[in-house]
Amino acid sequence: MKLAILSDTHGLLRPEVVEYLKTADAILHGGDINRPAIVEELKQYAPLYIVRGNNDKEWAEAIPHHLTFTLEGVTFAMVHNKKELPVDLTGVKVVVFGHSHRYVQEEKGGILWLNPGSCGPRRFHQEITMMMAEITEGTLQVEKVTIPHEVK
């Protein structure tokens, strides 16, 4: 199962990102979507697992603050700001979060912590990133995807 993992699109779904979404069996979005049209577009490509970010206002009230789900035997917990994660992570193998716009892929305490960074408008002079991942026999392999951009 192929996963596209992204966060902090802030109202911009880049064409380069869309090309990766087209190959995914599921899409995970860690919040700060900013526009309902982005959610609708994401749903066109694959089943969508999404959480609300701090910039997602009234329009996003129906989107959960945090989410726990299992894909191909791997249990995920997702929240926009990792400081707001539910305390009990029993059974969780992967935590997906956003907010900082910084790419993170690290294992701590038997849990894989993933922040795909931001693939929306470039901020804070950071690179534009997302993740592609594959679940095979209950194991998750993650690949960092850097989206080229013009430096201003």
Q: Is the distance from CB of 72 to CB of 6 less than 8 angstroms?
A: no
- Residue 99 falls inside a structural domain: yes
- Residue 56 falls inside a structural domain: yes
Report the CATH number at residue 93: 3.60.21.10
53-104: per-residue pLDDT in tens? 999 999 999 999 999 999 999 999 999 999 999 878 999 999 999 999 999 9
5-21: per-residue pLDDT in tens? 999 999 999 999 999 99
d(CA 93, CA 140): 9
Q: Return all residues near 110 (Cβ < 8 A) that are at least 6 apart.
A: 93
Number of domains comprising the chain: 1
pLDDT of residue 124: 65
DSSP 23-82: T-SEEEE-S----HHHHHHHHHHS-EEE---TT--GGGTTS-SEEEEEETTEEEEEESSG
